[in-house]
A and B are shown apart, each in its own frame.
Chain A
Amino acid sequence: MNVKLNETPVRTSRNFQINNLKLDIDIPTKIKEFENIEIINQESKITKEIELNDLVYGNGEELEENNIKYSNNKIRIETKKEDIKLIYNFDDKNLELINQIEIIGNNDANIIIEYKSNTDKKCFHNGIIKTIAKENCKLNIVIVNLMNDKSNSFEAIENDILENAVVNYTIIDLGGKTSVTNYYSNILGVNASNDLKTIYLGKNEEIKDLNYIAELKGEKTNIDIDVQGVLDGNCKKNFKGTIDFKKGCKKAKGNENEFCLLLSDKAKSIALPMLLCTEDEVEGNHSTASGKVDNKSLFYIMSRGLSYKEAVKLIVKSNFNKIIDRILDEEIKKEVLEEIDRRLD
């Protein structure tokens, strides 16, 4: 099926090839319940009853409709103060996941959501994660995509962040032949804050499409987006980041930074960092940069006896380090580091 995904909130010239992502993909329907999932928690209330409203942006009409109609896993979490882990294990019997996760942040919580393939077969994931961070609550949410190299992964994320609430999001986007993320943050309450950090690593013919949109609506709200990526082979990456200062967000601040390390002269990196502003008492900054591995750093590390490949791995991991450190679960952190090594071999 030909689909148009991840539309930018504001269009620009069609010739720039960034307004949306066009793909020809198989979207499964009528699939059985996804069974291989581990839920690790103590006190938070976890149910299956979710009533999602239409997404503000999302991953396009077709995928949203597919998710609403054919969802084979739903999880609603009302947080208590604790660590929560959701691990979706794709295997030969569970190759397709169309899921919904709703997180109601009543209390501070650390939530890790991991998707990983324990199979070589092609997997499909079409997910929606909706978060409401209530007044004064602090949520640390980590998403880890370790799906295999044949898989397609589509994730649509939406946040409503209320007064004095803090949402720290970390997206570890390593897996999948195609990985598409739509992230929308509705930063509503006075002093509400959202910090989003992402790493991505693409290689071969993979496609990475990241569309991050933050709307600052409340006074003294804050958004901080930091994206660190590596591209190898013929991989193509689109990063679209929008910070939208809406009327009334007096004294709001928004920062956005993307750095893309290019390991191949065939890789393509497109970035569209947008600042939209209808309020004067704000501060908005964005920066993007691309380049290859610094020769001086390589020389220094290799002069200490490491091979070229080991040196590159070390540099990549040092770029990613401050983001990987946000994974509080040591086991998952180890899996992430091993996956980075594997993908750079």
Chain B
Amino acid sequence: MRTKVEDINRNIYDIKNKDNYEFKIKKGLSKEIVEEISKQKNDPDWMREIRLKALETYEKLDLPTWGPDLSELKMDNIATYVKPKSDLNSSWDDVPEDIKNTFDKLGIPEAEKKSLAGVGAQYDSEVVYHSIKEDLLKKGVIYTDMETAVKQYPEIVKEHFMKCVPINDHKFVALHAAVWSGGSFVYVPKGVKLDIPLQSYFRLNSPESGQFEHTLIIVDEGASLHFIEGCSAPKYNKVNLHAGCVELYVKDGAYLRYSTIENWSKNMMNLNTKKAIVGKNAQIDWVTGSFGSRVSMLYPMSILNGENAKTEYTGITFAGKGQNLDTGFKVIHNAKNTSSLVNSKSISKGGGSCTYRALVRVSENAKNSKCSVSCESLMLDDISRSDTIPVNDIRTDEVTFSHEAKIGKISDKEIFYLMSRGLSEEDAKAMIVRGFAYPISKELPVEYAVEMNNLINLELEGSIG
């Protein structure tokens, strides 16, 4: 008897619209292509220079010598910029019908009405909808697409763009900086606390293309924000690429909760980079659900630069047939009394592969820091794979550090116990799998992001056998 957990129901996410674009750049990567993207986007000179410098860096850097096989990714087959037939709108009524229908089915406008303070929706390479509640505007909150931010707030963008994540961080960061398009810019002024979240949703419809959105969030001193990011794409037979970049600045005394629900299609190479710089007495919490993509390499990072800075990471990864999800978390303790708490879970089934890859570095000046890491992996069959590869780099004595990891299948003892309480074997196993995922899934913003229920549709009942 073996527990069988169904794949995530992807019916909604696999809706394909006709590849109906206004402009699609030719496939491949060259100086001409980067210059054309810059021209299409009407970049200021300084941004154009960043793009060209990044292209040079991209050409110099090697592919990673570790992690999943990326040989299927051929940049010559990827169109890095696809402009949909839509301008940026602030009313859903102005968004073209086919695009609006897609977001309707994903539940975004509905969620906006019920429980969000602002929404950004990106379709292929451009943001097609952006809105924010009036009262937040009055408080000085800025929530807009990145292109608008580059033009309207050039000084802020210049000071922060590709500074938290340097261009030479790795090859796909350099690629991102060369061809980036779309994404969101958020600025929360000092002391302003947002009670309900902002959400950006990224949808990639066009086949053999890439999405390279840039998210830049600055939460100023004493402010607080919950930001939700969702991503999905329909499945094609050819490889698509996502190489986004998220730069987060959490200033002194500020709080940011960054939630991600990632459900890319299984032809997607998801090579995303996310980093946060955290100031004195500030905190960032990451909540991540990784369910989609063929290959993911995603390791959000917190750099705790201020005294008493804190970070928490709560993540779940679910890899099914044909998926190789290499995810994890990195934290650098750079100041006194900093603390980090990591809780990661993964489920592998149907030949899927989950890897938890991580780094904890406590530097010389991070006296009295604390770090606790826990990761658990559940194997649902013997054709899947689950690896745990954490690096713990401790460079000071005044530290309390612990790391623990577990790997295994559903415990026979637990099944026996539950069955002795009257549950059938099916129900007992289903309950255990749900219980395994619960500490993480309860942290995911279910009540806000309507797509959540569709995403973690484990369909346990009736599928155990």
Contact = CB atoms under 8 A, between A and B. Distances in A.
B405 A286 contact: yes
B295 interface: no
Contact of B387 (A269, A276, A283, A291): A276
A49 B278 CA distance: 62
Which of B67, B401, B409 has the most C-beta atoms of chain A within 10 angstroms of its own C-beta? B401
Contacts of A283: 406-408
A247 B382 contact: yes
Interface stretch (B40-48, B128-136, B205-213, B390-398): B390-398
Interface in A272-317: 272-292
Nearest to A282: B408
A287 B387 contact: no
A287 B397 contact: no
B384 interface: yes
Contact of A287 (B379, B382, B396, B402): B402
Nearest to A243: B407
A177 to B, nearest CB: 21
Contacts of A281: 382, 409
Contacts of A16: 359, 391, 393
Contacts of B386: 275, 277
Contacts of A19: 66
Interface in B348-401: 357, 359, 364, 367, 377, 379-382, 384-401
Contacts of A267: 395, 397
Contacts of B97: none
A211 to B, nearest CB: 14
Contacts of A142: none
Given A262-B396, A267-B395, A291-B401, 5 more contacts: A13-B66, A262-B394, A280-B381, A282-B379, A289-B402
Contacts of B367: 265
Nearest to A276: B387
Interface of B: 64-67, 357, 359, 364, 367, 377, 379-382, 384-409
B404 A287 contact: yes
Contact of A274 (B66, B389, B401, B409): B389
Nearest to A268: B395
A168 B381 CA distance: 32
Nearest to B379: A280
A55 interface: no
Contacts of B64: 13
Given A273-B405, A282-B409, A287-B402, A268 B393 contact: yes
- What DSSP secondary structure best describes chain B's contact surface? strand
Contact of A270 (B393, B396, B397, B408): B393
A285 B397 CA distance: 25
A279 B385 CA distance: 7
A277 B394 contact: no
Contacts of A260: 394
A10 B387 contact: yes
Contact of B396 (A13, A265, A278, A286): A265
A303 to B, nearest CB: 22
Contacts of A287: 402-405
Which of A13, A19, A269, A280 has the most C-beta atoms of chain B within 10 angstroms of its own C-beta? A280
Interface range on chain A (Cβ under 8 Å from partner): 35 or more
Which of A11, A16, A18, A292 has the most C-beta atoms of chain B within 10 angstroms of its own C-beta? A16
Given A277-B407, A286-B405, A263 B387 contact: no
Contact of A277 (B377, B380, B395, B402): B377
Interface of A: 10-14, 16-19, 245, 247, 260, 262-292
A275 B405 contact: yes
Nearest to B380: A280
A16 B67 CA distance: 14
B407 A284 contact: yes
A279 B387 contact: no
A11 B69 CA distance: 13
Contact of A288 (B357, B392, B408, B409): B392
Which of B67, B380, B395, B407 has the most C-beta atoms of chain A within 10 angstroms of its own C-beta? B407
B91 to A, nearest CB: 45
A26 to B, nearest CB: 29
A141 to B, nearest CB: 28
A267 B393 CA distance: 11
B378 to A, nearest CB: 9
A279 B389 CA distance: 17
A14 B66 CA distance: 8
Given A11-B66, A268-B393, A275 B403 contact: no
B389 A290 contact: no
19 contacts: A11-B65, A12-B66, A13-B357, A245-B407, A262-B397, A265-B364, A265-B396, A266-B364, A271-B394, A273-B390, A273-B392, A275-B386, A275-B387, A277-B379, A278-B384, A279-B379, A284-B407, A286-B388, A288-B401
Give the 7 A-B residue pairs with the shortest CB-CB distance, closest first: A262-B397, A284-B407, A280-B379, A11-B66, A287-B404, A292-B397, A275-B388
A279 B388 CA distance: 14
Contact of A285 (B382, B384, B389, B405): B405
A157 to B, nearest CB: 23
A288 B403 contact: yes
Contacts of A288: 392, 401-403
Nearest to B412: A281
B465 to A, nearest CB: 16
A247 B386 CA distance: 12
Contacts of A277: 377, 379, 385-387, 407
A285 B440 CA distance: 20
Contacts of A290: 392, 394, 399, 401
Contacts of B409: 280-282
Contacts of A286: 388, 403-405
A102 to B, nearest CB: 33
Contacts of A272: 389-392
A11 B400 CA distance: 27
Given A260-B394, A270-B393, A276-B387, A14 B65 contact: yes
Which of B397, B405, B409 has the most C-beta atoms of chain A within 10 angstroms of its own C-beta? B397
A284 B380 CA distance: 15
A291 B399 contact: yes
B398 to A, nearest CB: 6
